[in-house]
Structure 1
Amino acid sequence: MHNAQPWRFRYSRGSSAFRLYADQERGMPHSDPDGRALHMGCAAALFNLRVALAKAGWHPDVALLPDSRDVTLLALVRTAPSDDGGDTGLRLLAPAIRQRHTSRYPFAEKAVPENLRVALADAAYQEGAALSFPDSWHLRWVEELAEEAEARNLTERGSEQDLARWTRIGAAEADTATDGVPEYAFGPRKHGGRAPMRDFSGGKPVDDRGTTPFEGTPHLAVLSTAGDAPVHWLHAGQAMQRVLLLATLKGLATSFSTQALEWPDLRWPLRDPLTGTGQVQMILRLGYGPQGPVTPRRPVRDVLVIED
């Protein structure tokens, strides 16, 4: 969320194992008070690690929440050479790690093929989550909840504080940042259309940022899990990343719609209207359009410690 990059890895040469920790100082007390989004972000980074290990011919053995005494330790990843060259499904996703960037631009009014939707849903299922594609009145309902949340966020002081901390406005700040959302990644202001876009400027003026129409019928995907505890958030984050990487390989641009998830009274109605079950963890916007720009990344020394 907001490119906070709230993860820290420790690698032990002696045990050939990685430990993934949550950097709670990079949490968002107003927008994410329970740390759900923080867990999902860390889990997405964990999935990238799994992909990288598989590509290198290693087998990642993952244990989630391995120590109940340390809530910041989210995963233990033991590694060993793979007899069969590594997980093929994971290996194939490796090129997409560097290719995928959040796109806050308009997408074409072009349908996502049904076979691709099935493949994306299967990717989520492999990680213990469900991916559905709302349509008709359910799609309009999801859009309306996102619009309501965006309106609240623009006037709610706590959300404004979180946004101010993690946005980089001004060329000097944007060009030197190592985290957060720089102004060149905000995308244009929306002028018409129903795509559930966040205004990262918070209503503040940003140079050279125009307005443009967005798609009238956005393609949204709702990612859900059976429960809503930290372990479910970690499954959801890995499922989210698997879906995003596969979508990238298949030529889709992607972005997020998290506004309604930040308000408990709006998040609850996002659930499947037919079954009334599942906990919505993320709303993805998919489509055919430009990939977003590369955003800052923290130096490796800040996120990885190697010890004997």
Structure 2
Amino acid sequence: MTTLTLDAQALEMLISAAVAAPSVHNTQPWHFRLVPETSSLEVRSVPERSLPVLDPQGRALHISVGAAVFNLRTAARRLGRAPEVRLLPDPAEPGLLASVGLDEPAAVHLNSTDTLYEAIWHRHSIRSPFTGPPVPAAVLAELAEAALTEDAALYLPDREETERLLHLTAEAERRNTTDPGQRQESRSWIQRPGAPYGIPAAALGPQDAGGHLPMRDFGALQPERHLVPAAFEAEPRIAVLATRGDRPADWLRAGMALQHVLLAATVHQVRASLLHQAMEWRNLRWAARDAHHGPGHVQMLIRLGYGPEGAPTPRLRTEDVLDR
């Protein structure tokens, strides 16, 4: 074993990659601590950037942090390390969600590492209509394989099942915009000018003019902004991300799988938006399960297609999220 010295440039690379991960409402609920004695980075949750109404169990928070851990692992491999990821390493510290050991050098350097690392900077959530042909079956199969490597499953529902999932999403969206607690919490996370987190006003997308695809209705949360409805794709390609278990470690793995899928899609210039609304209501999330795919737990619905790359959302600076 070698002792790794992380200089400022390497730390900046690692943390910048980690914080580029997606998070629910761009809450960025993560904080990092360097442990020089073990050459590891600890990844902790930040309770102040949680969503107690939308996410009372912290499931979405864990998924968000899991996505950051995947980016951190990818950046470490880019640096020539063989990172050791430990999820929930200390039961006495529930806020310590992961530890990434960086001591071991990589035996080989894979080209796929460089490809995924570069995709980190081009992956953005798209809330506008997709255009172009359907995503090829070979690409979808590659995305399913990416989820599988993170101990999760990605399956592609048929047209009938897609319609059912969209119906559940629409019902969840109706609840989100009419429930006072949900509406107020979501509205509070629309970014204030100069804030490094929250949902930028410029990222608020339109609603489907045909009423078929239930995108999150930020217009209902910010009625002073006039968002003109747009024509979305008539047959959206929805993928379902699921895990076998439904405990905090499973949620972290779901986040790692989600980010692996999103980056693999980005490599093929496939764009994605996350339909999380039905996951925010326990009975609707339960109803999203498909018995044909076994007893798994649905963690996310992902809309896939072709369109513009999109713009990055604000991120916290390294000095704001790292204890050295």
Give the TM-score of the pair, scaled to structure 1. 0.94
Name which of 161, 167, 188 aligns with 2:206. 188
Give the C-alpha shift of residue 86 in structure 1.
4.1
Question: Is the 2:40–2:103 Cα contact (8 Å) retained in structure 1?
Answer: no
Alpha-carbon spacing, 1:165–1:103, altered in 2? closer, same or farther (3 Å): same
> Hey, what's the Cα distance between the residues in 1 that align with 2:206 and 2:279?
23
> 2:150 is matched with which residue: 108, 124, 127?
127
Q: Answer 1 or 2: which has greater strand percent.
A: 1
1:198 corresponds to 2:216: yes
3-state SS, counterpart of residue 142 of structure 2: helix
Residue segments in structure 2 that go unaligned for 5+ positions in a row: 1-23
Tell me the residue number matched to 1:210: 228
Alignment partners' CA distance in 1, 2:227 and 2:195: 19
Which residue of 2 is the match for residue 244 of structure 1? 262
Shift of 1:203: 4.5
Alignment partner for residue 283 of structure 2, among 265, 276, 282?
Answer: 265
* Alignment-derived partner of residue 58 in structure 2: 35
Query: Contact 1:50–1:90 at 8 Å: present in 2 too?
Result: no
Does 2:28 match 1:5?
yes
Query: Aligned partners of 1:112 and 1:294: how far apart in 2?
Result: 23
- 1:272 deviates by 1.8
* 8 Å Cα contact 2:132/2:307 also seen in 1: no
| Residues paired across the two proteins, number | 301
The alpha-carbon deviation at position 258 of structure 1 amounts to: 0.5
Residues in 2 aligned to 1:178 and 1:190: alpha-carbon distance in whole angstroms: 29
Per-residue deviation, residues 3-24 of structure 1 (Å, max 9, x unmatched): 0000001012232110000112
Partner of 1:111: 134
SS at match of 2:74: helix
Contact 1:133 1:221 in 2 (8 A): yes
Judge conservation of contact 2:77–2:106 (CA < 8 Å) in 1: no
| One-letter amino acid of the counterpart of residue 253, structure 1 | R
Q: Equivalences for 1:271-290 in 2 at 5 Å?
A: 271-290=289-308
- 3-state secondary structure, aligned to 1:8: strand
Q: Does structure 2 retain, via aligned residues, the 8 Å contact 1:6–1:23? A: yes
Change beyond 3 A, Cα 1:198–1:160: same
State which drifts further: 9-18 or 281-290. Answer: 9-18
Q: What do residues 267-305 of structure 1 show as CA deviations (whole Å, max 9, x unaligned)?
A: 111112324410000111110012222111112111111
1:65 Cα offset (Å): 0.6
Offset, 1:83:
4.2
> Partner of 2:71 in structure 1?
48
Alpha-carbon distance change, 57 to 164 in structure 1, aligned in 2, over 3 angstroms: same
Please say if residues 8 and 303 of structure 1, whose CA atoms lie closer than 8 Å, have aligned partners that are also in contact: yes
**What secondary structure, in the 3-state scheme, does the structure 1 residue paired with 2:205 have?**
coil
Q: Which amino acid aligns with 2:149?
A: Q
Give, in whole Å, the separation in 1 of the partners of 2:211 and 2:187. 26
Question: SS in structure 1 opposite 2:220?
Answer: coil
Distance in 2 (CA, whole Å) between partners of 1:80 and 1:103 is: 37
Give the TM-score taking structure 2 as reference length: 0.89
Q: Secondary structure at the match of 1:190?
A: coil
Q: Considering only aligned residues, what root-mean-square deviation do their CA atoms show, in Å?
A: 1.5
Tell whether the 8 Å contact from 2:237 to 2:305 is kept in structure 1 after alignment.
yes
Distance 2:214 2:144 in 1: 21
1:173-192 Cα deviation digits (max 9, x unpaired) = 34x12001011001223211
Q: 2 CA distance for matches of 1:203 and 1:38?
A: 21
Quote the offset at 1:137 in angstroms.
1.1
| 1:159-186: CA deviation from partner (whole Å, max 9, x where unpaired) | 1122122112xxxx34x12001011001
Indicate yes or no: 2:96 matched with 1:78.
no
Please give the alpha-carbon distance, in whole angstroms, between the structure 2 residues aligned to 1:14 and 1:275.
Answer: 45
C-alpha separation in 1, matches of 2:207 and 2:163: 21
2:246 is matched with 228
Q: Distance in 2 between matches of 1:274 and 1:81?
A: 42
Distance 2:132 2:288 in 1: 24
Aligned with 1:164 (options 187, 190, 198):
187
The residue number in structure 1 matching 2:88 is 65
Q: Percent identity?
A: 43
Q: C-alpha offsets along residues 55-91 of structure 1, whole Å, 9 cap, x if unaligned?
A: 1111101111110011100111111242424455433
